[in-house]
Structures are given as structure tokens and as C-alpha cells.
Structure 1
Amino acid sequence: MGFGVSVSEEVNTERVRELKEFDDTKAGVKGLADQGITKIPRVFHHPPDEQVKVSTSGGEADDIPVIDLAEVDKDPSLRQGVIDRIKEASEKWGFFQVVNHGIPVTVLEDLKDGVCRFYEQDTEVKKDLYTRDHKKPFVYNSNFDIYSSPALSWRDTFFCYLAPNPPKPQDLPAVCRDILLEYGTWVMKLGIALFELLSESLGLHPNHLKDMDCAKGIISLCHYYPACPEPELTLGTIKHSDNSFLTVLLQDHIGGLQVLYQNTWIDIAPEPGALVVNIGDFLQCSL
């Protein structure tokens, strides 16, 4: 009788060791970038057939709609036009962008600056907040699914619940505390307005989705994608859908966000002052 270890078992053991070694640094992907590496660790390598190819879209017919909310509460005829556009965009794409949404551009810029300030702190400062305990009021780590994902994403993330029970200010990092709480207040107002418009687009009472508690909670997820020395080998975020009622996403000027439409990846180019709205899985299942 003989005993041995299969090649797959050896590879898996080595992979787990590499994952734990990376996780134990508590420095995330930002830590790797700061080291000036020229080759990314193999745990970040994605199979070629999973990599997102450059969008082949070109004409306006392939553009995600940009919807202006400026007069939506002042002019009934304009409101109906917005409702019709939201209905069409939600059915066709599941995505649209909104401008003149009521959140000051200064707040959007301050949020982006606050997120960058957090990630660009010294690693030793951030280590104290690095955790995989999702019960904590503020969770910062790299790749929430680190030990189950086939390949890691080139991304660090922090998240916190801003509603219905906002965190105590002292539970948030000082470098982004005030802007996170302020942004949560603004997004709650926008979320309620969007759910009203979505309800009306379905021929329902404006408060229908709100009364279902679709607008009750807010989770803020803030991602950081450092420059990658081998971007052709990895991804910042893999193909996915959002397990939410609604996602309101703020892009920076760099872009990179894509949506899959009729087997083609379509770029959502950054629009100054715009927010991207994504119809989430929970909302689709609720209707």
C-alpha cells in the first residue's frame, strides 16, 4: 500500500500559503504596488478567457443613457419624460447615469479625495483597521472572497453601513469620516427620489418601493485600484451583478467600468458630475 500527495493537492496547498502570506501583510494590493513590483503574484492571474476585452461599441446607440433630473420635481411633463427614459434604460440596460441629481459636485469630489486619503496613508496606520470580521462598523481588506475566488482582483476595499443605523463617528477613520457621513445623507435623498421614479415607471404609487423598505439601508463600498504592472493578466473587478436593490456608483476620471450588453462589453465613460445607477438583483426579484 502506498501513500502520496497529488499534484492538485500540492498546488492547492501552495496557493493557500500564498494567499495567507498576502493577507497577513495587511497591506493589500496597494502594498504590492508600493513595493514597486514588476510582476504580479500568480494568485492574481486570471485565465485569458475570463479577461474583459476592450469594448467594440462606437455609436450613440451603444451609449448608456445619461438622464437629467434637474426639473423632475418642478415640471410634470418633464418628470414624465424622465420616468419614460428611466423605464426604457432599466429594461434595456439595467443601467443609466444621472446628472443634476442634487448632490453638489464638491461633495462628490470631497468623497473621492477622502477615499484616496485613506488608502494613501502609511501601511502601518491602515493595518489596525484591516479585518475580515464583517460585524465591525468599518471593514477594510483586500478581496473579501480571498480564499474562495479562483483568482484575486487587483483591488482593495473598505465598507461601512451608513443607514439605517449609521456608525459612530469615532468608528470611522478620521481622514474620511466627515465626508462619508455627509455623502450618506445625500445619497439617501437621491435613493428615495430614484425609487419614486422607478415606482412610477412601473405604473405604481411613487412610495411603493420605499414602502417596501428598498431605501431603508445604505452600504458604502469604496474601492481602490492601484496602478498594475501587468494589467493584461488580471482584473480590478470580475464579471458580476450587484446583490442590492439599487447601486449608485461614483466613478473617478480614470474610468474602466463596463457593462455586458448582448454579449458585448460596453464602456461607461466617466461623465463629469454624473452618478451611475445600477438596477440590483434584489429589485429585479422583487418585481
Structure 2
Amino acid sequence: MAEVMPNQSSFDDRAKEAIAFDQTKTGVKGLIDAGVDTIPALFVQPPEFLPDPSTDAAADLQIPVISLDGVLGGRRADVVEEIREAAGTWGFFQIVNHGVPLSVMKGVLESVKRFHEQPSEVKKEFYSRDGSQRVKYYSTGSLHSFQSAHWRDTLSVDFEDSVPDPQGLPEVCRDTFVEYVGYTVKVRNMLSELLSEALGLDSNFLAKLECMETQRLVSHYHPPCPQPDLTIGNTRHTDATFLTILLQDHIGGLQVLHKDKWVNVPPMEGAFVINLGDFMQLVTNEKYRSVEHRVLAKKVGPRISMACLLAPSKKNYNKIYGPIKELLSDSNPPLYRDITIPEFYEIYLNKRLYGNVALSNFKL
């Protein structure tokens, strides 16, 4: 998709509007609380970023749903095969019977709702765009670019090496976040084994790569939007990590691009949505896929989700990652060069909002 730069005057006007919005520290929720019935120009998306009825919601396609029931017994080989097919064809799948209590899943979503629906003065304490800050609340990650803003507020928390550390967490969600991290570690470990085996490797292979130790819990709050046909909850993108474990509520709106069609990912009680990130596509030499997805804005809401983004720890931040040598052969040569995470992020953060695939910059 071609990048279209605005003229300087419109860029300056947008920058001023973005700064004024950011300084309120009340986010999109603040607009709804103020009773707006027309979204600010800041949030109006260009037509090419909005849903197109000719390619939307392919009713004949559905992402795979995989039950982990029996994965420690006689069904393991079947589950591995289902994951191999889903990861290689879709890059997205839902898992059920994963061992996380429904009460824990509902509890963490409810705690996200409580955080975002606190009085503004309480939330403002956590408002920040400092990428090094472990706990931060902010509104629309694209705000200070010349791209249109997204209709969402976010609370992001980093757990280094997946240690469930309560330090600095907002009181209203502290206990539930810590408990949730403990459970997602177990899900991550199981998926790491199954994804390794689906590659024909030892079950501990991906764990030994040390590529999924750190969790970033990114909880999105999408208030009901008065003009959902003009904006988007999250524009099309891929995840710049290894793996994402997503918990979504009942509202819906998540879509995955498959065979040039946008496919709804329907909410399922008790299910996690699993999607492979860009680095997983790189290290598997495209045996697994990282695919574009987006979130629609809706008149109903709020829509609440919790994405657990899995990436290397700080100690491995400058580690070199490349196609797994055990997967390569004369008939399957490496498709990508070896890269570091900072090298990839420099490209990803500049390109992702335009629909470009950052990985293409590292192809051999």
C-alpha cells in the first residue's frame, strides 16, 4: 500500500489535536463520558483502512478450534497435527480445554474493565508513553504519527521472565493480573512443546531458543463508538513477537486476513485465541505464518481483550535469531537472514501501519 504523506499544514493541525487529546489523559473513554456523538477528526480513518464489504467477513471460512483435552495422553499426536496445520495455514487458532479456570479468565477481563472505568484522576497516575515504563496506561498507540488514531485505550504491563511481580500494578487489577500470569505460563509451556513437536523437533526445542520468556500483558478497552463506520479499533497489522495468547470478551470484532478475505474470529467462552508472530515465521522459515489481523470499532461495548505477547527477555534482547538450522536443507534453504530484535523493531514500527510486511526487509 502506498504511503501518502499529508501536507505540512494538515500535519501540524493533526499534531496539535493529538497533543491536546493526549494531555487530557482520559483517553477514548473520556470522549464517551463527555457525551460525544461525533468522533474527532483525529480518529477518522482513510477509506483504504476501513472495512470493505467486498472482502469482509467470509462466512464460509472459520479459524480452527483445537481442544487440548487428552494432550498428555492418547490424543497428543492428533493435537500436534492440528496445530501443525493451523499454524502453517492460518497462523491463528483457538484453543479450548487448556486448563485455565473460566473464573480466572472472566476475572482478569473484569479487572481490566474496572481499571478503565475508574475515575479519570485515579487512572491518570499511570498515563505514559514511555516505552521503558513497566506499567503504563495510554490511548491509541498511533496517536503521535500522521496516521489516524485507533478507537481504544490500553493498559500495558511487562512481566520480565514471566515472573508474576505485583510491584507497581494498579490496585484494582493487581491480584488478578498476577494470578493470570501464573496460568498463562502453563499455557505458554504447553504450546511451546506442541509447536516444537509440530515442526518435527524435540518438545523442548523452542524453550531452548529462549524466545518466549517475557510476557507483556496488553489489555485493550474499546468503548462503544458513535460512528464505527469511520474508524477502527486496531488497524491491520501482524504481531512483532513470537507468540500471542489472546483472551477476548463476548463483543467480537477481531478479524483475520485469510485467502484475501477478512474472517471473523468469533468469541468462544473459555477459549484463547493463539496467533503466531513475525519472529515465529522467521525462525520456522515460513513453516508457521504470521498473518494480518485487525479489530473493528462497534456501536456496542465496551469490547475488552487481554493480549499476552511472548518475547525474549532483556538478557536476550540483542541475541541473533534466524531460521532454525534443523529445518533447513538444499530443498528448503533459509528465506531470511539472521537478525536481532532491535533491528527488526526499527523496521516494524516504521512500516506496520501501512500494511507493509516488515519481514520482507530481511528476506535473502
TM over 0.5: yes
Deviation, 1:168, is 4.5
Q: Does 1:11 align with 2:10?
A: yes
Deviation, 1:153, is 0.2
Which residue of structure 2 aligns with residue 43 of structure 1?
42
Once the two structures are superposed, residues 76-120 of structure 1 have per-residue CA deviations (whole angstroms, 9 ceiling, x without a partner) of xx1110000100011110000000011110000000100000000
Residues 235-250 of structure 1: matches in 2 within 5 Å? 235-250=232-247
Deviation, 1:13, is 1.4
What is the CA–CA distance in structure 1 between the aligned matches of 2:166 and 2:276, rounded to whole Å? 30
Q: Is the 8 A contact 1:188 1:215 kept in 2?
A: no
Q: Is the 8 A contact 2:45 2:231 kept in 1?
A: yes
Deviation, 1:149, is 4.6
Which residue of structure 1 aligns with residue 182 of structure 2?
185
Q: Does 1:132 align with 2:129?
A: yes
- Look up the equivalent residue of 1:215 and give its one-letter code: M
Distance change >3 Å, CA 41–CA 105, structure 1 → 2: same
Deviation, 1:167, is 6.8
Structure 2 segments unaligned to the other structure (5+ residues): 1-5, 285-364
Q: Is the 8 A contact 2:164 2:179 kept in 1?
A: no
Name the SS of the counterpart of 1:233 in structure 2: coil
- Look up the equivalent residue of 2:225 and give its one-letter code: C
Residues 19-98 of structure 1: matches in 2 within 5 Å? 19-53=18-52, 55-59=56-60, 62-75=61-74, 78-98=75-95
What is the CA–CA distance in structure 1 between the aligned matches of 2:276 and 2:134, rounded to whole Å? 26
Name the SS of the counterpart of 2:7 in structure 1: helix
What is the CA–CA distance in structure 2 between the aligned matches of 1:74 and 1:163, rounded to whole Å? 32
Name the SS of the counterpart of 2:179 in structure 1: helix
CA RMSD of aligned residues (A): 1.4
Distance change >3 Å, CA 127–CA 238, structure 1 → 2: same
Which residue of structure 1 aligns with residue 251 of structure 2?
254
Which residue of structure 2 aligns with residue 161 of structure 1?
158
What is the CA–CA distance in structure 1 between the aligned matches of 2:80 and 2:162, rounded to whole Å? 31
Which residue of structure 1 aligns with residue 294 of structure 2?
none
What is the CA–CA distance in structure 2 between the aligned matches of 1:163 and 1:255, rounded to whole Å? 30
Name the SS of the counterpart of 2:235 in structure 1: coil
- Look up the equivalent residue of 2:108 and give its one-letter code: L
- Look up the equivalent residue of 2:63 and give its one-letter code: I
What is the CA–CA distance in structure 1 between the aligned matches of 2:111 and 2:196, rounded to whole Å? 33
Once the two structures are superposed, residues 11-43 of structure 1 have per-residue CA deviations (whole angstroms, 9 ceiling, x without a partner) of 221111100000000000110111110110101
What is the CA–CA distance in structure 1 between the aligned matches of 2:117 and 2:44, rounded to whole Å? 25
Deviation, 1:147, is 1.1
Rg bigger for which structure? 1
Deviation, 1:134, is 2.0
Deviation, 1:58, is 2.1
Name the SS of the counterpart of 1:236 in structure 2: strand
Distance change >3 Å, CA 64–CA 107, structure 1 → 2: same
Of 117, 120, 126 in structure 2, the residue corresponding to residue 120 of structure 1 is 117
Which residue of structure 1 aligns with residue 198 of structure 2?
201
- Look up the equivalent residue of 2:42 and give its one-letter code: V
Of 282, 286, 307 in structure 2, the residue corresponding to residue 285 of structure 1 is 282
Once the two structures are superposed, residues 136-172 of structure 1 have per-residue CA deviations (whole angstroms, 9 ceiling, x without a partner) of 2201101223211510000111111123164752400
What is the CA–CA distance in structure 2 between the aligned matches of 1:183 and 1:213, rounded to whole Å? 21
Deviation, 1:56, is 3.8
Q: Percent identity among equivalent residues?
A: 43
Of 202, 225, 245 in structure 1, the residue corresponding to residue 222 of structure 2 is 225
What is the CA–CA distance in structure 1 between the aligned matches of 2:143 and 2:38, rounded to whole Å? 19
Q: Is the 8 A contact 2:141 2:149 kept in 1?
A: no
Which residue of structure 1 aligns with residue 172 of structure 2?
175
State the structure with bigger RCO (CA 8 A, min sep 6), 1 or 2: 1
- Look up the equivalent residue of 2:271 and give its one-letter code: A
Q: Is the 8 A contact 2:126 2:135 kept in 1?
A: yes
Name the SS of the counterpart of 1:231 in structure 2: coil
What is the CA–CA distance in structure 1 between the aligned matches of 2:86 and 2:110, rounded to whole Å? 30
What is the CA–CA distance in structure 2 between the aligned matches of 1:116 and 1:167, rounded to whole Å? 20
Distance change >3 Å, CA 21–CA 258, structure 1 → 2: same
Which residue of structure 2 aligns with residue 4 of structure 1?
none
Distance change >3 Å, CA 81–CA 149, structure 1 → 2: farther
- Look up the equivalent residue of 2:132 and give its one-letter code: K
What is the CA–CA distance in structure 1 between the aligned matches of 2:72 and 2:146, rounded to whole Å? 45
What is the CA–CA distance in structure 1 between the aligned matches of 2:23 and 2:57, rounded to whole Å? 40
Distance change >3 Å, CA 14–CA 113, structure 1 → 2: same
What is the CA–CA distance in structure 2 between the aligned matches of 1:64 and 1:147, rounded to whole Å? 34
